[in-house]
Amino acid sequence: MTLNYFVQISALSIGDYKSYGSLRRFGVVARIVSIFGVCALFSAYHFYTAIIKSLGVSTQALNLEQIFIIGWHTQSLLSMMFIIHWQTSGSIKLIKENILISSTEKQITWLKLKKTCRLILTIVVCNVTVLMINLVYNWTTFFRTRPIRVIIEFGFFRDVFHSIYSLYGPYAWHISLCIFIVTVKSLELELREFNTNFKKILDSHALTLFTDVFNEAQITQNKLTRALLNKYVEHRKLAEKVTKVDEIFKFYVLIMLITGGAHTIFTVLSTIRQKGWIHMVFFAYDIFLCVWHLLGLCIIPAQVYREFRAVNDQLYRHTDIWMAYNLEVYEICQMFSENVSRSSIGISLCGFILITNRVIFTVSFLHYLFAYVWYRNYINQKSRDKNNAFRCLQHMLSFASNCNLAVIINHGDTPI
């Protein structure tokens, strides 16, 4: 299932968009790889069952490394569930037919989208390579350290299933993120192309309004009125596309940001505590993946928010179309500007707050402050009470929740 999506993204980055019709030949390979998905789900069940049993028997708290592993497995399992949901609900078909195909038919947007797909594929290949090295390292360590009796008692096979899940889970995690990035990036490129064409129309009509004689200027104003109406209708269609994408991904963005933000903090803290250089390399790569995940979920939606509202700036800057008074042009521009300003169009967190640059800055600041306070208390643990770190964690969690609640209460549905 997920291999088919991977092949489609590969076709986007390498070939023409018309190669979508030739992707059916990879269906057999996708079904074969789906067997690994079944093994991954089985190993996930075994993994979480062991965690629940250990928590029920032992009262000892989980350390950072265990929380780090649980975080990766949880995000991978959630990614599998979202991919299955998108496929069963028809969201993947809707994205390909209404968004990706319409974007790839435009040559400029198509070339820019290919660069994004190639960057995604490069990161996926690097991630799979590191995971394979980690897998071989763990298996060789297992054979060197475990006795034959443990291998006979199916201990090895349990680790094999866990290794399959550890390999297939991040693969599904990458595919879900790839689907989100490619879809939202195509919207952002369409909006950017719309703004470029809109600026050209305003520039061309603004130059002729004062250089022509009266009758020709009147004809130019009529052409400008029709052009503004056509662009207004086109902008409304783009707004409908953004709304559809937001309906598909709003729960995905919220859940993955919550789990990804917490996982990033524990990854940084686990990296600080590592001593061996091999573990430091793997944890540093995990930090890179966490940052890549958060940037992919936040930066491009913020660009969609900015590009959708760039029409107001262009109308405000082109004063030439306002100086030559025309009531129809005034009414259309005012309607255009007010609808864009008052709309809540964009990629949102579960539909109640839009992802903007200010939201990204606020959340990033809280994450860094949280990690810094925990690290300072971890350094002072040996000389002070060990409970100070956990008390500070509770204070920081309450502080962060109060800040987020204040943002929602103060701004409500209005984007910040």
Each residue's pLDDT tens digit, 41-93: 545 554 555 555 555 444 344 556 666 667 777 787 788 788 878 878 878 77
Radius of gyration (C-alpha) of the chain in whole angstroms: 26
pLDDT in tens, 210-227: 444 445 555 566 777 788
pLDDT in tens, 180-204: 888 888 888 888 888 888 888 877 7
**pLDDT score for 199:** 83
Query: Do residues 397 and 349 share a domain?
Result: no
Q: Which two tokens stand for residue 296?
A: 């992919």
Instruction: Indicate the number of domains in the chain.
Output: 2
Angle (CA) 335-341-344 rounded to 5° is 120
Is position 255 within any domain? yes
Query: Do residues 134 and 236 share a domain?
Result: yes
Pairwise CA distance, residues 64 & 273, whole Å: 9
Query: Do residues 313 and 404 share a domain?
Result: no
Q: Which of 306, 328, 355 is the last residue of a domain?
A: 355
- DSSP state string for 128-148: HHHHHHHHHHHHHHHHHHS-H
Is position 308 within any domain? yes
How far, CA to CA in Å, does 372 sit from each of 195, 203, 270, 375, 392?
41, 50, 13, 5, 11
Q: What is the average pLDDT value for the chain, to the nearest integer? A: 66
**pLDDT score for 125:** 66
Within 8 A by CB and 6+ apart from 324, the residues are 209, 210, 217, 221
Is position 197 within any domain? yes
Tell me which residue range forms the domain holding 284. Answer: 2-355
Query: Do residues 328 and 209 share a domain?
Result: yes
Q: Mean of the pLDDT values across residues 32-46?
A: 48
Query: Do residues 245 and 297 share a domain?
Result: yes
Query: Do residues 84 and 219 share a domain?
Result: yes
Is position 361 within any domain? no
CA 20 to chain centre: 23
- In the structure, what pLDDT confidence band is assigned to residue 156 with cuts at 50, 70 and 90? very low
**pLDDT score for 219:** 57
Is position 58 within any domain? yes
**pLDDT score for 30:** 42
**pLDDT score for 12:** 43
Query: Do residues 208 and 301 share a domain?
Result: yes
Q: Which of 99-113, 153-167, 199-213, 214-228 has the lowest mean pLDDT?
A: 153-167
Share of the chain above pLDDT 90, in %: 0
DSSP 347: -
pLDDT in tens, 265-279: 777 777 776 666 666
pLDDT in tens, 276-327: 666 676 677 777 777 878 888 888 888 888 888 888 888 777 766 666 666 7
Is position 363 within any domain? no
Query: Do residues 310 and 410 share a domain?
Result: no
Pairwise CA distance, residues 191 & 198, whole Å: 10
**pLDDT score for 153:** 40
Query: Do residues 92 and 212 share a domain?
Result: yes
Query: Do residues 117 and 49 share a domain?
Result: yes
Share of the chain above pLDDT 70, in %: 44
Q: Mean of the pLDDT values across residues 115-136?
A: 66
Is position 326 within any domain? yes
Query: Do residues 339 and 298 share a domain?
Result: yes
Reported pTM? 0.69
